[in-house]
A and B are shown apart, each in its own frame.
Chain A
Amino acid sequence: MTRKLGYARERLVRSVETILAVLIIIGVVAFIYDVMAGSRGLDIGYISANWLRYVRAVEINLSVTTISFVLGMGIGFLVGWIRTVRAPPIQKILQDFRQAEKQGRARGKPALVATLIASGLRHYVKRVADAYVEAIRGTPLFVQIIFAYTVITVSYPRLPGVEFFAGVVALTINTGGYQGEIYRAGLQTVHTGQVEAARAIGLSRWGAMRFVVLPQALRLVIPPLTNEYIGLLKASALLYYISLLEITFLSKQENYLGHPFESFALITGIFLLITVTLSRLIQYFEVKYRIPGLGIQAAPG
């Protein structure tokens, strides 16, 4: 009982600490802007009159990011899974076949052709997945955004909401590649013995994936996925370049209208509020779903 109360108290202290930390950060940022703004000072009147517009604008960032992130999860998981599949190159299969022929245990040409097609397909699908991940990770996101926008506007010049659509496409493709790597690492970290044991007690291939590998892999990918989401949210600010009316776009406009410091104070504050809250939330889940007794754990308190 006292233990439970202790946890509740600890949680309360922690959330108070979090809120305090966010307030302090916002305060410091506001102070810095205040200093930079010099004798002019921060126009608090402008902030209190306009903050809601900024919140509306950031809702666009949040929705582009969230839609892309969820779509990217599908792509990412598929890509990550494909990249863990073993696919021996054709030469190796042929070599094994010749060996088998020599030892007089070859299973005949039809079987060979079937194996060749199956593993050839696997091999090339895997190559495509590899190329996708490398292309995404090897080029700037900014270029990918402009590329997606250009391709879409050239093909469909009259598409309504093209900025939003292009933004989602660019971010989805981008996060798909990065998430692919996250899932690949997560899946590969689960020991093969776990799958063998699952199969040995009668689970199917899919059952082993669902009840044994995924529950363990998902726990491993929660922290990197959170980072990915936060990174994507920050990256969504780049979409101002393709005229998406998101928060950076708004703030640039307000700059020209003579409120540069106020608008930057707002944008920083809002982003910090979202990202810090999010990472704290995920930390909570991480602790909640941690496997007892496994790995290095932070000492309580």
Chain B
Amino acid sequence: MIRTEGIHKFFGALHVLRGITLEVARGDVLVIIGPSGSGKSTFLRCINLLVRPDEGRVFIDGVQVNRPEISPEWVREQVGMVFQSFNLFTHLTALQNVTLAPIRVKKLSKDKAEAKARELLARVGLAEKAEAYPAQLSGGQQQRVAIARALAMDPKAMLFDEPTSALDPEYIREVLDVMTNLARDGMTMIVVTHEMGFASSVASRIVFMDAGLILEEGPPAEIFEHPRNERTRAFVSKILR
């Protein structure tokens, strides 16, 4: 479904990604953990080309997408993204946030887009908040709207960039529940998170990244209970404590 080969990224002199090779099969949930600054977010952004990799190849459904002849807009229709800071459009209602791209990019009629948006909002438990503006919603509600907004484009896969780290603890549960349901429904997901409960119950695989490299990869039980790499062990012991 999603495959990357030897992704390198430089920010000026900074070598942020040092050759990331990964594969995520359809319906898999890959969780990426690692200390801050290890390149997790940059790697996610390389997949939907919000950041262009300097070297290496990104494949979606077998098509190499980081080529000049493939428009980044097309890639972003295939892969939805959810951000740490929600980034809902502040001047639009929840409903309008969800319908914007279907109407403007997919050229769906307003009625069709709205019907679908209401369905999606109901799916994330926010049917009654359709007319609310982002500033009138709690963090958890905003993040759930953001998930609905990404789903509105019918993506084949979803990227989550620390979706719960900007949330008050009381709102984390509701967002994780939505994500868990999404995974159960068979969505292919790559999730950067430090929610170990979510990782161990939902992830098919866990990847530990540090300093732009993948240091260890395996099923949750293995990574959390028997990490082989020393740095993985140190990191896991810190966040599981």
Contacts and interface: CB of A to CB of B under 8 A. Distances in A.
Contacts of B8: 105
A201 interface: yes
A96 interface: yes
A96 B10 CA distance: 10
A299 interface: no
Interface string A198-238: 11111110010001100110010000000000000000000
Interface residues of A, number: 27
Contact of A201 (B91, B100, B133): B100
B143 to A, nearest CB: 12
A286 interface: no
B133 A292 contact: yes
B12 A99 contact: yes
A292 to B, nearest CB: 5
A211 B105 CA distance: 11
- Chain B interface residue bracket vs A: 35 or more
Given A200-B48, A201-B100, A294-B135, A194 B153 contact: no
A196 B23 CA distance: 25
A199 to B, nearest CB: 6
A86 B241 CA distance: 43
Contacts of B100: 201, 203, 211-212
A204 B214 CA distance: 32
B80 interface: yes
B104 A294 contact: no
B90 interface: yes
A203 B81 contact: no
A24 interface: no
Contacts of A204: 73
A223 B83 CA distance: 32
A110 interface: no
Given A193-B85, A196-B50, A197-B83, A105 B90 contact: no
A100 B10 contact: yes
A201 B150 contact: yes
B235 to A, nearest CB: 27
Interface string B56-91: 000000000000000011101100110101011111
Nearest to B82: A200
Interface string B112-129: 000000000000000000
B237 interface: no
Contacts of A216: 89-91
Contact of B89 (A99, A198, A207): A198
Interface core residue of B77, B85, B89 (most chain A CB under 10 Å): B89
A293 interface: yes
Contacts of B76: 199-202
Interface string B134-160: 111000000000100110110000000
Nearest to B13: A99
A197 B88 contact: yes
Contacts of B105: 201-203, 207
Contact of B133 (A100, A197, A211, A293): A293
B101 interface: yes
A195 to B, nearest CB: 9
A215 B83 contact: no
Contacts of B135: 291-294
Contacts of B80: 200-201
Given A194-B89, A291-B91, A202 B73 contact: yes
19 contacts: A96-B12, A103-B10, A191-B87, A197-B83, A197-B89, A198-B89, A199-B50, A199-B76, A200-B48, A200-B80, A200-B83, A201-B100, A201-B153, A202-B101, A202-B153, A215-B91, A219-B91, A292-B136, A294-B90
Interface of A: 96, 99-100, 103, 105, 191, 193-194, 196-204, 207, 211-212, 215-216, 219, 291-294
Given A197-B83, A202-B153, 18 more contacts: A100-B10, A105-B8, A193-B87, A194-B87, A197-B88, A200-B81, A201-B80, A201-B150, A201-B152, A201-B153, A202-B74, A202-B77, A204-B73, A211-B100, A212-B100, A215-B91, A291-B90, A294-B135
